[in-house]
């Protein structure tokens, strides 16, 4: 019952119309792990930080039950740092700075004790780095992967190599269109699934998510939140909730993927309620369950009787 969360561990500088904070604990591996740990006790993290990484963040991650034996602390560098500013409507953001720092020389070493991880969740990283991790694990039941426009545009061949090894790709709608060259998302999904991932999840932010698996399409709503503080990490939190729930349920089927998409959506809807990962450290089971039930109420279609033309 183990999940390997791979990705960045970052210090974020975030500006939204509702506030600004520096050196916020962030990164894809962080958000994946924070969400997944509500579903299983065995969350393993592979990533790298620099000598400037605050001890209190290491403590917070450990206290959350996240296994940090795979987190390299590079004494000669600084932690990956990202700075971004969200627009008024929170649907768009400008990246103000990206300092790769220790990520530039990151050569992931997966601890021996992690080789048997059942689900591997690859946060957004250089596709070559993602493959290096996959080479160091035995046969996981599921490999889930995120990527972004940068890799689609700059390392398309390497990305293809990684996609061939992936069971489930999670990307947003713009990335799906760019990766496939198809504006129509149904056609785009077919093209992308032809590259390897038999499951595709297209995230649409405030519009929810689409799941393509076998011959089914599932449309998940977004939770209509009135107060969004900070969308940072929502996509990674989604991925963490998705893999966490799947491992918890212990089965893989079109039905369990649908449920997992709802759990992922629920976890993401919590994450955006506060700055950084703050909301993710103290959720309760009943809060999570109530939010999942809200998704059901939000999208349930009451029974209909057939109409007959006049």
In the complex, the residues that contact its own copies under the rule CB under 8 A are 37-42, 65, 88-90, 177, 183-187, 204, 206-208, 210, 216-222, 224-226, 228, 245, 248, 255-256, 258-259, 262-263, 284-285, 288-289, 292, 295-302, 304, 306-310
How many residues are there in the chain? 310
Smaller CB separation from its own copies, 51 or 91: 91
Smaller CB separation from its own copies, 104 or 305: 305
Smallest distance from the beta carbon of 95 to its own copies, in angstroms?
20
With CA atoms as reference, report the closest residue to 150 among 130, 123, 132, 126.
Answer: 126
Smaller CB separation from its own copies, 132 or 279: 279
Residue 69 tokens, joined: 């034996």
b/e 15-25 (16+ beta carbons within 10 angstroms → b): bbeeeeeebbb
Smallest distance from the beta carbon of 241 to its own copies, in angstroms?
10
Smaller CB separation from its own copies, 23 or 278: 278
Where is 241: in which H helix or E strand? helix 234-249
Where is 293: in which H helix or E strand? helix 285-299
Smallest distance from the beta carbon of 215 to its own copies, in angstroms?
11
Smallest distance from the beta carbon of 201 to its own copies, in angstroms?
14
Where is 169: in which H helix or E strand? strand 168-172
Smallest distance from the beta carbon of 179 to its own copies, in angstroms?
15
What strand order describes the sheet that includes 81-86?
19-26, 10-16, 81-86, 93-99
- Residue 9 phi, psi (nearest 5): -120, 120
Smaller CB separation from its own copies, 54 or 250: 250
Q: How far is C-alpha 189 from the geometric centre of its chain's CA atoms?
A: 19
Smallest distance from the beta carbon of 228 to its own copies, in angstroms?
7
With CA atoms as reference, report the closest residue to 242 among 217, 266, 225, 223.
Answer: 266
Smaller CB separation from its own copies, 198 or 289: 289
What are the CA-CA distances from residue 217 to residues 91, 240, 255 (Å)?
25, 21, 11
Smallest distance from the beta carbon of 107 to its own copies, in angstroms?
31
Smaller CB separation from its own copies, 59 or 216: 216
Smaller CB separation from its own copies, 102 or 272: 272
b/e 188-207 (16+ beta carbons within 10 angstroms → b): bbeebbebbbebbbbbbbee
Smallest distance from the beta carbon of 58 to its own copies, in angstroms?
20
If phi over 0 gives left and psi between -120 and 50 gives alpha, with beta otherwise, what is residue 7?
A: left
Smaller CB separation from its own copies, 139 or 297: 297
Farthest-apart Cα atoms in the chain, separation: 77
Smallest distance from the beta carbon of 120 to its own copies, in angstroms?
18
């Amino acid at each position: 019952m183990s999940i390997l969360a791979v990705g960045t561990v970052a210090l974020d500088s975030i500006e939204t119309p509702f506030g600004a904070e520096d050196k916020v604990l962030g990164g894809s591996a962080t958000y994946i792990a924070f969400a997944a740990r509500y579903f299983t006790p065995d969350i393993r993290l592979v990533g790298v930080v620099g000598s400037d990484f605050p001890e209190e963040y290491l403590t917070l991650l450990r206290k959350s039950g996240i296994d940090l034996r795979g987190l390299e602390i590079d004494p000669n560098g600084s932690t990956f740092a990202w700075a971004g500013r969200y627009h008024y409507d929170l649907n768009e953001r400008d990246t103000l700075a990206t300092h790769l720092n220790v990520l530039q020389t990151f050569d992931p070493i997966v601890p021996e004790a992690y080789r048997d991880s059942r689900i591997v969740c690859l946060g957004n990283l250089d596709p070559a780095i993602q493959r290096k991790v996959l080479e160091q694990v035995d046969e996981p039941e599921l490999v889930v992967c995120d990527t972004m426009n940068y890799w689609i545009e700059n390392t398309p061949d390497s990305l293809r190599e990684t996609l061939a090894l992936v069971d489930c790709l999670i990307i947003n709608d713009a990335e799906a269109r760019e990766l496939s060259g198809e504006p129509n998302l149904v056609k785009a999904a077919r093209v992308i699934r032809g590259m390897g991932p038999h499951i595709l999840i297209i995230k649409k932010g405030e519009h929810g998510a689409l799941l393509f698996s076998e011959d089914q399409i599932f449309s998940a709503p977004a939770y209509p939140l009135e107060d969004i503080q900070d969308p940072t990490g929502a996509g990674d939190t989604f991925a963490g909730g998705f893999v966490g729930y799947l491992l918890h349920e212990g089965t893989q089927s079109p039905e369990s993927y649908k449920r997992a998409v709802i759990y992922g959506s629920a976890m993401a809807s919590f994450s955006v309620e506060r700055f950084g990962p703050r909301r993710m450290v103290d959720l309760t089971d009943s809060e999570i369950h109530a939010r999942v039930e809200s998704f059901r109420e939000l999208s349930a279609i009451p029974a209909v009787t057939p109409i007959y033309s006049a």
